Each structure stands twice: as structure tokens, then as C-alpha cells.
Amino acid sequence: MAIEVRIPTILRSYTGGAKVVEGAGDTLADLLTDLDARHAGLKARLVTDAGALHRFVNVYVNDEDVRFLGALDAKLNDGDSVTILPAVAGGAFGFAAAAAIAQHGAVGARAARR
Amino acid sequence: MLSIDRSIIDAIVAHARRDHPDEACGVVAGPAGSDTPTRHIPMENAARSMTFYEFDSMEQLRLWREMDDRDEEPVVIYHSHTATEAYPSRTDISFAGEPGAHYLLVSTREPDTEEIRSFRIVDGVVTEEPVRIVDAAVDPHAVQSYMFGQSPATVDYECSGR
């Protein structure tokens, strides 16, 4: 049973640069285990030590976010397409700690508001 | 170095001002491999927070697919800090998942000036880079009407120099 998996740039070091790989499994967890057998280390980037899907990635089955499909328990079928994307998030929370690092010769571009 | 058209910077700043004091976020896509940001896509901050931003996962999927179809990539990923400087926070660094992107930060803490800075964030390492704002050969009337058009209710501004 073949499931197409789209790999984001940041994880292509695990797939020899491949943008799309194929795998098999009845659930997302099974699929990731199957992929990890050929692309060692990939699963650890997607699943935490506690066995949950990582906060830093979004995984989709076809057009659905797997968080709404049971996450790692999401059921898969032959011909499904799985897409992995880095979650885009962040923000000023935690700024104070970063400020200490920021003191080194940073060059900022200031644009006057027009 | 990040080279970016002034009209796009203006649109990003307008977006950040409009959403202030919440953080604003978005993407500037460009042809894959070109390192040239040409298409500004303001994104919704699904967190609607003054200290956090997050793309809506479905909106992101649609945009990433669209970029794929158009042979584009996210050349710039931007967000605003609304009470602090334009420097990546620890949170920004832990989430940064596009090693090829320029992470552009805009601070709107000052009402009259914007601080705009750009960074590469690769494997948790932050490297600041210069920002070169280019006045490209865009239609001057389009830019002018944009500049003096007060704050539009929505910004769906595409650089006409594309």
C-alpha cells in the first residue's frame, strides 16, 4: 500500500534531497515508522520523546490537518497523500532571553514611516 | 542580504500597523531559487495575540501548495513584535523551519518609526543580514495612491514590478 509523503525542505536531509517519498501504514504512526526504516532520524523530528506529534510541524492527510483526525492515530488508506510542513509560528514571548544574545553588532535597517 | 522592493515593505508595515497591538504575520513569495521576494501574502495570525503568532494551518497548506504550483518558495517570512525590538525571540528560533527563508521582523513599538530587520535562522543559529530596500520600476502612481490611500481595510497588495 503506497502513500505519497511530501517532505519539507528542512527535512530533506533525511530523504537524500527527495521532495516526495512513498511509504506504507494503516495509521500515521505506522507510516512514520515505515519511513524511518529507510530515512533514519525522520520520525524523531516529527514525534516527541513522549510519543506525540511535534508542535513545530503540521502534518496533513490529503486536505486535513491530522490534529483533527486523531493525530498519530489518523487512519490512512492506499493512495492518500500526506504533507508535512514546518509550522510557522513565533512571537515576542521569550524576548528577554533573546535580547541578551542580540547585543552583538546587529545592523538594523530603520525605515522612517512615510 | 535581503533585497526587497519598497512597495512590499510598505505593505508589510501597513499590515503590522493595522494589526497592532496584535502581532501580524505573512509571507513574501518569489520564484524558486531566485531569492527575490515578489508576491506579498498577508496571513491571518491564528493566535490573535500581542506576544505570539501562528499561521492558520489550513491557510498555510493552501498557500504552500499554491507556491508549489507556481514554482515559488517562501522567500520572506515576516512577523511583527509590537512592544519589543525586531529581533528573533527564543520562540521564533525554535519554530524557524524554513532554512532558505529570510525572517523579517518589524517592530511597531514606536508609533512614528518602524524598525525592520532581517535574519537567517538555520539550526537554531541566528544571523542578521542587511536589508536593501529597492525602489523598483513600479508604477509610481500605484505606489503613490497606496502611500496616500490611508489605511486600507484589507491589503491584498501585489508588487506590480513582478
From A8, A85, A90, residue closest to B91, measured CB to CB: A90
Nearest to A89 by CA among B91, B80, B59, B120: B91
According to the model, what pLDDT value does residue A109 have? 30
According to the model, what pLDDT value does residue A93 have? 74
Contact B129, B102 (CB under 8 A): yes
Contact B99 A106 (CB under 8 A): no
pLDDT digit string, tens, across residues B131-144:
999 986 555 554 44
d(CA B11, CA B42): 9
User: pLDDT tens track of chain A, all 114 residues?
Assistant: 599 999 999 999 999 999 999 999 999 999 999 999 999 999 999 999 999 999 889 999 999 999 999 999 999 999 999 999 999 999 887 544 434 333 332 333 333 333
Chain A nearest C-alpha distance from B153 (Å): 18
pLDDT band at B147 (very low <50, low <70, confident <90, very high): very low
Question: How long a stretch of residues is chain A?
Answer: 114
Contact A15, A41 (CB under 8 A): no
The answer to whether the Cα torsion of B31, B132, A86, B55 is positive or negative is: negative
Listed by number, the residues of chain B in 32-71 with a beta carbon closer than 8 Å to a beta carbon of chain A are 43, 47, 49-55, 57-58, 60-61, 64
Give the nearest chain A residue to B13 (CA atoms).
A113
Chain B nearest C-alpha distance from A70 (Å): 16
Contact B159, B148 (CB under 8 A): no
Chain A nearest C-alpha distance from B160 (Å): 20
d(CA B23, CA B27): 14
According to the model, what pLDDT value does residue A92 have? 86
Outline where DSSP puts E strands in B24-101.
25-31, 39-43, 53-54, 72-81
According to the model, what pLDDT value does residue B86 have? 95
pLDDT band at B157 (very low <50, low <70, confident <90, very high): very low
ipTM, interface predicted TM-score of the complex: 0.79
Q: Between A91 and B27, name the one with better pLDDT.
A: B27
According to the model, what pLDDT value does residue A89 have? 94
According to the model, what pLDDT value does residue A4 have? 97
Contact A108 B13 (CB under 8 A): no
Q: Mean of the per-residue pLDDT values for chain B?
A: 87
pLDDT digit string, tens, across residues B58-82:
999 999 999 999 999 999 999 999 9
Q: Which residues pair with B21 in a beta bridge?
A: none
Fold classification of B2-147 is Cytidine Deaminase; domain 2 (3.40.140)
Chain A nearest C-alpha distance from B162 (Å): 23
Contact B83, A99 (CB under 8 A): no
A vs B: CB pairs below 8 A: 142
Q: Between B155 and B36, name the one with better pLDDT.
A: B36
d(CA A86, CA A55): 9
Domains of chain A from N-terminus onward: 3-96 (3.10.20.30)
pLDDT band at B36 (very low <50, low <70, confident <90, very high): very high
| Angle A65-B106-A55 from CA coordinates, rounded to 5° | 25
Strand B102-107 with B72-81, pairing: parallel
